[in-house]
Structures are given as C-alpha cells and as structure tokens.
Amino acid sequence: GAVVSQHPSWVICKSGTSVKIECRSLDFQATTMFWYRQFPKQSLMLMATSNEGSKATYEQGVEKDKFLINHASLTLSTLTVTSAHPEDSSFYICSAITGGYYEQYFGPGTRLTVT
Amino acid sequence: DAKTTQPNSMESNEEEPVHLPCNHSTISGTDYIHWYRQLPSQGPEYVIHGLTSNVNNRMASLAIAEDRKSSTLILHRATLRDAAVYYCLYTDKLIFGTGTRLQVFP
C-alpha cells in the first residue's frame, strides 16, 4: 500500500514551453502533497506544500507564477512549469501524506530536461 | 531552518551492522525524527521515525539519545541493496540536509 506515482517519469521540452507533471496517490487519500526539486548531486529542496482544495504554500524563493500547483482532489496534484528554461532542468519529486507528517510517501520522480 | 548534521559518506561490508549518526541539536520537544533513504534516480523511501523511545521495524532500528539532540539509524545486516543516501530530518516540514551516502561492499 501507500503508493505514489508520477507522470511522466521523464520529459524533454523546448525553452519557453510549459510542462505539466502529475502526482497521484494510488491507494490512499492524500490530505497534503509536497513538491521537491533536486539538482544533480544535491539534496532535495522543498518547493511547495499543497492541500486539497486550497492554494499551495510556496517556499521562499520559489516563483509561484512559474511553478503552478493544483491539488484538485485527494489523490491528484499537478505541477506545471511555465515558460521553462534550461535552468529549470531538474529532478522533480512529489510526496503525499495522509495525516500527520510522520511518514511521507514519495513518488519516483520526474526528470525534466529543457533544451 | 531545521538543520541536521550527518557524515557525508560511510562504508560497510555486506552482512555487517551499520550505524548512521545524525546530530539535531536544535530539535524541539515535539519534533519527530525521521529517516529516509534515496537510491539513485529514485524518490526517497521512508525508513523509520521516532520521538523519544528507540524504535524497531523490519528495515532498521532507530536509537534516540536521551537529550534527543542526536540519533542513530542502525542497519543490522547491511546488504548491497542498502547502498543509498540516508537522510535524517525533523520538524513537521521535512527539510532535507545533505545526507550520508552509504556504500556497501560485497
């Protein structure tokens, strides 16, 4: 149980285009989902926290207009990278929790390459 | 920020126990201590969490110091599949530090 999926697993896009990444909790309802970004050889950096039906809370330094997060249901959150640039190339990972923050379930990640 | 300090890397041989330390001197009394691990090109995987008492599960054991300013993740018999980056975290908002890269040799 407690499986989180991400789609796509990898994507290549051209500079200036937008990319949508989906995060789904497959066998549980996620009250909260988190989005992280990870550059090569670096640790995960929390980008935003999203709760179903409400606006996402972004971490300091993360542009909310560039990284659009929608958490429309208890099993789906989406991250849209708008007007992507090469510096947005990274590994994007989502996670989900069912209640307290005691145990996060992470997705497999999405590797974004912007050319 | 919730800062943790871990050694950058550690090595072990297969079948041997591994003790991965973590310092979290600024932890508050209500913060849980979490451990996750990440294999290359994958999302992190939950390992264990605890508050004050030592904890055991099928993957590992967590030993928490009495003052809660440090903890140790114990892998009782390392396998090659345990080679990963191990992160200890605390607070409701999980802030990942640099973690410990564990290498396991056959």
Average pLDDT of chain B, as a whole number:
92
B-chain residues near A46 (CB < 8 A): 93-96
**Confidence band of B26 (pLDDT split at 50, 70, 90):** confident
A51 touches chain B (CB under 8 A): no
Contact A91 B49 (CB under 8 A): no
Distance CA A86, CA B51 (A): 42
Q: Does any CB of chain B come closer than 8 Å to the CB of residue A107? A: yes
Contacts of B97 in chain A (CB under 8 A): 43
* Residue range A64-95, pLDDT digits in tens: 999 999 988 999 999 999 999 999 999 999 99
Q: Is A67 part of the contact surface with chain B (CB cutoff 8 Å)?
A: no
Q: Is B41 left (phi over 0), alpha (psi -120 to 50) or beta?
A: left
Coil, helix or strand for A86?
Answer: helix
Q: Which residue has the higher pLDDT, B8 or A31?
A: B8
Nearest-Cα distance to chain B for A46, in Å, is: 7
